Amino acid sequence: MIKLIKTLSTIVVLFVFILAFNNSYADTNKKTAEYTIIIYLNGCDLENGIDLTTGEYNKEATNALNAIISTHFNDSKINIIAVTGGTNKWVLPSPRISTAHCQAWRIYGEREASMELLGNTDPSMKMMDKNTLTAYVQNIIKDFPAKKYVLIFWDHGAGPIGGYGSDQLDDGKSLSISDIADALKTALKGEKIDMVIFACCLMGNFETAYKLKDYANYMIGSEEIEYGDAFEKTLKSLNENPSMHPTQFGKYFIDWNFENYDGRPYTYSLIDLSKIGDIRSNWDLMIQKIEEQMKTKGKKGADAYRNLAIARAFSESYNEQDRASHGTTDMYDLADLISEKCKIDTTSLKKSIKDTVVYNKKCNYRPYSNGLSIFFVDKKLDKNLSLNDNLQKYAPSCFSKHYYDFITSYYNKLFIQNPTNLIGDIALANKYIIDLNPKSYPPHYFIKVDQQDIELVNQIYFLIGKFEGKGKNRYFVPLSIDPDIDFDLESGDITLAVTGKQYCIGGEPVPIYWDNDVNKGKNNGTNFDYKPLGYFAVKYKGNTVFLVVKENSNEKDPTKSNAQIIGIWDSKEDNGKVIPHLSWLGTPPKRGDKINLLYNMGGKYMPGPEVTLDSLTISKSCLPNGEYSGIFYLEDVVGRKVWSAYKSFNIKSSLEIKDSQSAENDEDNMPDEANLDYIF
C-alpha cells in the first residue's frame, strides 16, 4: 500500500492507492523477464467518440487492447501491463474496465485469461494526476522485474504547450511534460528506464526529450499528427527475439506504424536522450548570435527580424490546420534556413541533431522532417498569442529561461508592435488582374509583387466565387480555391491559367482549403512546397464536419488531377469561427451518401446544394455557367493578408471564359478587406 499526500491550501488530503496483486501469479512476477512494457492507456474520446459515418464508437483504445491480446507472446519473457482510465465509457465487452477507477491490468500472451485485473486506485486519483503515474510506474517496476523497461503513453498529444492526454473524468485535464518528468523522477529515484514511447500526436519535440533525458535512455515520438499504433506486429517482432536491444524494438515500432500510413502526414523518430544536451548548447549559441544581430542599430537590426521571420515561415511546420495551439517546427530545417537567411553557421547544431536522432521515418508530405520539432512563434499563432496565453503555457515546458525570454521578446516586437517597421509589407506593383491571353482560351490572369517584397510572400491562392448581400453585409463567397499558380521568384510575376475547371461534386463547386506554401529554393527549385492535403466543409447527417482529401496531382495537366476523400474531421468553434477539430480522423462517407456543401460567408457557413457522393474521388469539371469574380489572395511570413482587385468574368462553356465589361482599374473592384478576413 502506498500513501500519497497532496496539499490543497491548508488542507491535507490522503489518497490510498491499492495494488492487491493476485497470489495466483505472485511467483511469476518475481522472475526477471526480458521486457516489462507499461502502456498508460487514457481512453477519452478516442474510445467513446462517435464515428458519424458508421454511427459506432471509435473504440480505438479497445482496438489497441484487442491487438495486444491477440498477439501470442511468451509471458515469461515479456510482461505487458496496461493502465486504463480517462474515459466515461469503455467499449471493450470483457473484461469490464471501470470508469470510476484507474486500473492496472496484466495482459497474457499464453494463458487463457488474456487480461487480469491487478488493482484499482481510489476514485479521487485521476489518470492525468502525476501522482497516479508515479504510483503505477513505481509498483509495476517493483512487481514485474525485467532487464528492460518501456513506458508507452497512448492518447492525444498536443506538443510542448498542450502536453499529453485528456481526461474526460477530470474536466479534460492533461499531463504537462513537466508533470511527466516529475512523476518519473519520483518513481525511478535516480534510475532510468530504457525507453519512453509517445503513441500520440506532436510529442516528438525537443522540449519533451530534454525534460525526460534524466529518466530514460531513448524516446520515440511523432513531430506530426499520429494515426494508429501497430502494437500487434511490434509485439510479434519482439516475441521472435525478446532479448533485442531497445533501439531495435523502437525501430520495429516505427516501421510497423509506417505500414499503416495511407497518404496522411506521418513522422516518427527514435531519440538518444544521452545526446540531447549537445543540441541545447548549440541551439542556445545560435539564438545568442541572432540576438546580437537584432541589437544592431538601423537596417541591419531590422533585417535580422525580417530574415528570421522568413526562415521560420518556410521551415517544416506541423498540424497545419490547427497550428494556433501548437506552433512547432522542425529544428534541423529551421536551423538550415537560419544559416541561409541569417548567415549564421549552424553546422554544429545540425550535426548534434543528426547524432541524437537514431532513426527517423517520414512521409513524402513532410520531406524536411528530421526527427525533432521545437516550439517557435510563427504567423499562425497571432490571434491566440494576443494575450500571451500560449507563451505563458509554454514557460514550464521550455528548456531554458534564455530561450523563453528570447521567444517572448521576439513575439512582442514582431507581432504586438508594428511589424512593418521591422520587415516591411508586401506591395503589389500591379494589383489589378490583367489577362495576358485575351484573345484565346484559356485566359492567363496576372498580377505582380514588388521585387523587394518577393521573399515575404508565404502563400498564394486564387479564389473564384460570387457576391452575396449588400452594403456592409456584402460578402464574397468562395466557391472554389485554386492553388495551381505560377510564381516567378525572380520577377515577382504571379500568373494563373483560368480554365474554369475546378473540383466539383455533382456539378457543384467545392472550395477545398489547401496548404500551399511558396517555396524558397527547396524541392530542387520548384516554386511551391505543395502539401496535397485539404479539407472542405459539409453538412453530413445533421452535423457540420470537414471532409479530408488528398490530391492525386497531374503536374502536366492540373485539370486532370483528382482528390480522394480519406476521412472526416469534426468541427469546433474558435474565436467565433468554425474550424476543423483534429481529435481523430473519422471514417469517410459511403458512396451514395448525401451531403450539403457549405460555403463560407462572413465567417459563417451558409448551406449550399445537396449532392450525392457517387464516388469518393472528386474530379475537376467546368463550373456551372454564369458570372463569377476572381481574386488573388497572398499571405506574408507573419500572416498578414494582401488581396488583389476583383476580376469579373463569365463562364459560358468549358471552352469559353470572357471578361465582364467592368473597367480594369475601377476602384469599385478593390476588395473590402474587412469582409474578406474570415476566409483564411
| Residue 189: CB atoms within 10 Å | 8
> What are 393's three cell numbers?
503555457
| Residue 43: CB atoms within 10 Å | 31
- The per-residue pLDDT for range 296-312, each reduced to its tens digit, is 998 999 999 999 999 99
Mean pLDDT of 426-442: 88
| Burial degree of 648 (CB within 10 A; 0-12, 13-18, 19+) | middle
DSSP string, 358-399: EEEEE-TT-TT--S-EEE---GGGTTGGGGTHHHHHHTTT-S
CB contact at 8 A, 366 and 266: yes
Domains of the chain: which residue ranges?
Answer: 28-260, 277-355+375-423, 428-675
- The pLDDT of residue 573 is 81
> What are 332's three cell numbers?
534541423
Mean pLDDT of 525-552: 79
- The pLDDT of residue 275 is 98
Cα angle for residues 85, 91, 93 (degrees, 5° grid)? 110
SS3 33: strand
Distance CA 229, CA 584 (A): 13
SS3 462: strand
Question: Who contacts 471 (Cβ-Cβ below 8 Å, separation ≥6)?
Answer: none
- The pLDDT of residue 321 is 65
Distance CA 425, CA 429 (A): 12
Amino acid at 474: R
Distance CA 103, CA 83 (A): 6
What percentage of the chain reaches a pLDDT higher than 90? 61
Distance CA 415, CA 399 (A): 23
CB contact at 8 A, 98 and 70: no
Amino acid at 244: M
| Burial degree of 273 (CB within 10 A; 0-12, 13-18, 19+) | buried
- The pLDDT of residue 113 is 63
Residue whose C-alpha cell reads 479539407 in the numeric block: 535
Distance CA 214, CA 65 (A): 30
Cα angle for residues 302, 307, 309 (degrees, 5° grid)? 95
Amino acid at 106: R
Mean pLDDT of 106-114: 84
- The pLDDT of residue 274 is 98
Res 190 pLDDT > 90: yes
Going by pLDDT thresholds of 50, 70 and 90, the confidence category of residue 583 is confident
- The per-residue pLDDT for range 166-181, each reduced to its tens digit, is 999 999 999 999 999 9
Closest CA to 201 of 178, 181, 182, 229: 229
Whole-prediction pTM = 0.91
What Å distances lie between residue 605 and 105, 149, 406, 536, 583, CA to CA?
46, 50, 39, 11, 21
- The pLDDT of residue 539 is 96
Going by pLDDT thresholds of 50, 70 and 90, the confidence category of residue 625 is confident
Res 22 pLDDT > 50: no
Helices (H), 70-173: 130-143, 159-162
Question: Who contacts 346 (Cβ-Cβ below 8 Å, separation ≥6)?
Answer: 282, 286, 335, 336, 338, 339
Mean pLDDT of 607-618: 95
Going by pLDDT thresholds of 50, 70 and 90, the confidence category of residue 420 is confident
CB contact at 8 A, 448 and 428: yes
The residue among 72 and 183 whose pLDDT is bigger is: 183
| Burial degree of 316 (CB within 10 A; 0-12, 13-18, 19+) | buried
- The pLDDT of residue 265 is 73
- The per-residue pLDDT for range 457-498, each reduced to its tens digit, is 988 999 999 988 877 777 888 999 988 899 998 999 999 998
- The per-residue pLDDT for range 46-90, each reduced to its tens digit, is 999 999 889 999 999 999 999 999 998 999 999 999 999 999 999
The least confident of 111-120, 380-389, 492-501 is 380-389
Helices (H), 260-375: 276-294, 299-314, 331-342, 347-356
Question: Who contacts 66 (Cβ-Cβ below 8 Å, separation ≥6)?
Answer: 92
Distance CA 507, CA 623 (A): 7
Res 361 pLDDT > 80: yes
Q: What is the mean pLDDT of the chain?
A: 86
Going by pLDDT thresholds of 50, 70 and 90, the confidence category of residue 533 is confident
- The pLDDT of residue 388 is 55
What Å distances lie between residue 349 and 75, 276, 309, 345, 520, CA to CA?
44, 11, 19, 9, 22
- The pLDDT of residue 131 is 97
Greatest Cα pair distance, the chain, in angstroms, is 89
Amino acid at 293: Q
| Residue 545: CB atoms within 10 Å | 23
Residue 339 CA, distance from chain mean position: 26
- The pLDDT of residue 669 is 67
The H helix count followed by the E strand count for the chain is 16, 35
The residue among 655 and 597 whose pLDDT is bigger is: 597
> What are 329's three cell numbers?
517546427
Domain 28-260: CATH class, spelled out: alpha beta
- The pLDDT of residue 659 is 55
Going by pLDDT thresholds of 50, 70 and 90, the confidence category of residue 150 is very high
Distance CA 528, CA 577 (A): 28
CB contact at 8 A, 286 and 344: yes
> If you ran DSSP here, which 8-state letter would residue 57 be given?
B
